[in-house]
Amino acid sequence: MASTTRTCEYRRVVVTGVGVVSALGIGKEPFFTNLLVGRSGVRRIERFDTTDFPVKIAAEIRNFDPLDYIDKKMAKRMDRYALYGVTAAILALEDSGFPVSEDPYAVGALIGSGVGGLDTFLEQTGVLLEKGPTRVSPFFIPMMIPNMASACASIILGLQGPVNATCTACAAGTNALGDAFALVRRGDAVAMLAGGAEAAVNEVGMAAFAALRALSTRNDEPERASRPFDADRDGFVMGEGSGVLVLEELEHAVARGAHIYAEMVGYGMTGDASHLTEPVETGVPAGLAMQRALCDAGIEPDEVDYINAHGTSTPLGDAMETRAIKYALGPRAAQVMVSSNKSMFGHCLGAAGGLEAAATVLTLETGKVPPTINLEHPDPECDLDYVPNVAREAEVRVAISNSFGFGGHNAAIVFRRWDG
């Protein structure tokens, strides 16, 4: 069995499947099409009554029925974030065609989440307060904990290789991809389903992030509220969903004739060691994560063509990331295209890295760079090429995807265009 054999040589890792659940659509095609046309998925919240809430907008998932993908009995035992994560994993595996049944121990799952089962936590806390402790569901804990997107994907798809999860706030999806990349590269798995999942658009999630003063209050202009790198940005817009990639050993992918979107070549991370929520303003720790990812890939700064930015639309975060890019790339930063998908599907917390990695590999394959929408008023502190408002066709050979999380988690991954 391939899964039980390890060598001392690093294996090359490629992306052979893409699965997406987002406010811009279910599946890679509507997702990427809407990104390229600059369509915003931000609307007034429909999931609950926002009358007493200071923030009334989010990038919610609409027209999603988990029973289109998951057995009813199993779906009832999963939180919404896990439903998104497992659906994205199912779509990614279908897209890849990876033959799990040939060796279930050769493939695993690593799907991160920053918050986990917040819907379940809210619902069952209500049960506790209204009906008492004996009425709390026995599935409360297994539905709430943030490893269950990976675990349920493993159960439903029969994945018996490495199954793990990351919980590093808004860096969780990127850390999951980086850790899965390392597993395949060193031979602990032939393939991994990796990415992130989140569903925090509910009463407690919106109230908590609003209390942090992290969210945009542009309630009257939902589609214009998320405006990364713009001088008038006033906070991020909450999003939700999941992005999962199939990372596969190159030789195995080639042997079975798999479609290859891109090659994953590097991973780097650092910690700010500074503050619970605010980044280090100099951008040095985040820039060092990018440098480490490039070093891991054996790629020089002058080879980078595009950065899928963390780009949250917060005053501190976007200015910091601009400085981080300059620190990481030096003079090359002025020539590199940078854009933020969050301008369209909001900040999906632990799912952000998975969704943005999906967009990045599709950019590498197509040579089409999604824009940063709502970038109307240049900020002197944010002076790079953010691909404002209109998508761009360009030769993109090397791309970085960044994620930075509360607590000072910085993660960057590097992809290279696949030319056969």
Instruction: Please say which residue of 197, 225, 255 terminates a domain.
Output: 255
Taking residues 127-132, what's their average pLDDT? 97
Residue 352 lies in a domain: yes
The domain total for the chain is: 2
The per-residue pLDDT for range 181-234, each reduced to its tens digit, is 999 999 999 999 999 999 999 999 999 999 999 999 999 999 999 999 999 999
Contact 108, 154 (CB under 8 A): yes
Residue 8's pLDDT band, with cuts at 50, 70 and 90, is low
- Are residues 209 and 279 both part of a single domain? no
The per-residue pLDDT for range 14-54, each reduced to its tens digit, is 999 999 999 999 999 999 999 999 999 999 999 999 999 99
DSSP 389: S
Taking residues 133-157, what's their average pLDDT? 97
Q: Does the annotation count 252 as an active-site position?
A: no
Long-range (24+ apart) CB contacts under 8 A made by 44-47 are: 44/219, 44/222, 45/201, 45/206, 47/201, 47/202
The whole-angstrom distance between residue 41's C-alpha and the CA centroid of its chain comes to 16
User: What contacts 121, CB < 8 A, 6 or more positions away?
Assistant: 144, 204
User: What contacts 179, CB < 8 A, 6 or more positions away?
Assistant: 110, 164, 166, 194
Q: Does the annotation count 275 as an active-site position?
A: no
- Catalytic position from the list 347, 348, 382, 409: 347
* Confidence at residue 420, expressed as pLDDT on a 0 to 100 scale: 83
- Catalytic position from the list 152, 167, 170, 382: 170
Residue 58's pLDDT band, with cuts at 50, 70 and 90, is very high
pLDDT at 358 over 70: yes
Specify the CATH number for the domain of residue 323: 3.40.47.10
- Are residues 31 and 176 both part of a single domain? yes
Contact 43, 222 (CB under 8 A): yes
Between residues 10 and 170, which one has the greater pLDDT? 170
- Are residues 250 and 301 both part of a single domain? no
| Mean pLDDT of the chain, nearest integer | 97
Q: What is the CB neighbour count within 10 angstroms for residue 329?
A: 23
* Confidence at residue 9, expressed as pLDDT on a 0 to 100 scale: 79
The length of the chain is 420
pLDDT at 1 over 50: no
The residue type of 6 is: R
- Are residues 116 and 243 both part of a single domain? yes
Q: Does the annotation count 377 as an active-site position?
A: no
Residue 219 lies in a domain: yes
- Are residues 296 and 247 both part of a single domain? no
Residue 1 lies in a domain: no
Residue 93 lies in a domain: yes
- Are residues 99 and 180 both part of a single domain? yes
pLDDT at 5 over 80: no
- Are residues 191 and 286 both part of a single domain? no
- The number of C-alpha atoms within 13 Å of 260 and in the hemisphere containing its C-beta is 22
The residue type of 171 is: A
Residue 337 lies in a domain: yes
- The number of C-alpha atoms within 13 Å of 252 and in the hemisphere containing its C-beta is 29
- Catalytic position from the list 152, 167, 310, 348: 310
- Are residues 277 and 368 both part of a single domain? yes
Instruction: Please say which residue of 233, 255, 277 terminates a domain.
Output: 255
Alpha-carbon distances of 164 from 176, 179, 210, 240, 303, rounded to whole Å: 9, 9, 31, 21, 33
Take residue 180 and report the two structure tokens written for it: 């899965």
Domain that holds residue 319: 267-417
* Confidence at residue 240, expressed as pLDDT on a 0 to 100 scale: 98
- Are residues 338 and 387 both part of a single domain? yes
Taking residues 384-412, what's their average pLDDT? 98
Whether this model's pTM surpasses 0.85: yes
Residue 129's pLDDT band, with cuts at 50, 70 and 90, is very high
